[in-house]
Amino acid sequence: MSSSEQAKPDVKDVQVIEEGTVRMEYDSREVVFYNKVQVLNRDLSINVIRLFAEKYLAEKSEKLKRKKGNAEIAEPTGIKILDALSASGLRSIRYLKEIPQAEHVFINDLSSDATKQAESNCLLNDVDMSRVTLNNEDATMVMYRHRDPRLQFDVIDLDPYGTAVPFLDGAVQAVKDGGLLCVTCTDMSVLSGGYPEKCFTQYHSMPITMFAFLFESLILLKK
């Protein structure tokens, strides 16, 4: 049996997960990472981006009107989002389906398996593929390549495994002026004082183990 045949999942390994308005094929062998406990995180991100987009596009429209005066102008209608570490593409597809202002989503992951599954999940959810860019590349390289103001994103979402620190320099250069960065760090054991040396290396801070460790973690991230 060839390696490609061995890699094919059995039907019993694949299940369809429903989240929000989206369905996703999930291989229980974890070929592509899926974080089951991050549903609330994704729900919050959708609501925040939706509200941000309303205000952002209104302000953008007002600036154009002031600049052009009485001349006819094309109203800005949508936002461009980068899901830099997309994995299965679930978050990206929810953005397209549940955020009315989401005009285009750039779906990127370093794993080719993840990119293939993201494409499969797009098709499963009848996504208009003209509104999607599927990309298989290092997230930092993608963002550095989009530093030009004409190429920048209105919203960049970073949801890495662990700290987001390695991606922040590229993100702040690839997001538009007045745009939105959505950053998730899942290394709470580091931020809450479990590994002080690692925390100092990544965040240039020394945590103090205390009962209010969640609050302290937020301060370290903001710092």
67-92 pLDDT, tens digit per residue, is 877 666 677 889 999 999 999 999 99
Which of helix, strand or coil describes residue 212? coil
Buried b (16+ CB within 10 A) or exposed e, 21-37: ebebebbeeebbebbee
- What does the pLDDT average to over 40-61? 95
Q: Which residue has the tokens 């999930």?
A: 26
Residue 108 has pLDDT above 60, yes or no: yes
* pLDDT mean across residues, the chain: 88
Q: Where are the alpha helices (H) located in 16-69, listed in sequence order?
A: 39-68
The pLDDT, as a whole number, for residue 101 is 96
Instruction: Determine contact, residues 100/173, Cβ cutoff 8 Å.
Output: no
The pLDDT, as a whole number, for residue 5 is 46
| DSSP assignment of 81-132 | EEETT-TTSHHHHHHHHH-TTEEEEEEEES-HHHHHHHHHHHHHTT--GGGE
Q: At 65, is the pLDDT very low, low, confident or very high (cuts 50, 70, 90)?
A: confident
pTM, to two decimals: 0.86
Residue 2 has pLDDT above 60, yes or no: no
d(CA 52, CA 54): 6
Residue 103 has pLDDT above 70, yes or no: yes
Q: What angle do CA 107, 112, 116 make, to 5 degrees?
A: 65
- Containing H/E element for 175? strand 175-183
d(CA 87, CA 31): 10
d(CA 91, CA 5): 29
